[in-house]
Amino acid sequence: MLPFHISRIHTQKGIFRLSGHWQGGEQGGTGLKVAAIDILGTDGWLALDSGSREIAVLIGELTPELLAHLKEKAQARG
């Protein structure tokens, strides 16, 4: 798996900053493991507990957008 860091991504659920690992490149980019997730609030970045059930559900909902973003960035790099 490849490490990733998304410094800022706008989604329908909010604006997030994430890092972790994903199965990218030639493998098709189907796996995603989020190690850290922050949401942008009115006072700045707020760390979310990636181990909690609610945040796991949120990550599941965000996964298609995150994978699309990561695939796009990987293709742009060549």
Q: What is the pLDDT of residues 53-75, one digit of tens each?
A: 999 999 999 999 999 999 998 88
User: What pLDDT sits at residue 53?
Assistant: 97
Residue 12 CB coordination number (10 Å): 7
Rounded Cα distance between 71 and 43, Å, is 31
* Secondary structure E strands in 1-78: 2-11, 14-22, 32-41, 44-48
As to burial, measured by CB atoms within 10 angstroms (0-12 exposed, 13-18 middle, 19+ buried), residue 6 is middle
- Whether the per-residue pLDDT at 51 is higher than 80: the answer is yes
37-43 mean pLDDT? 97
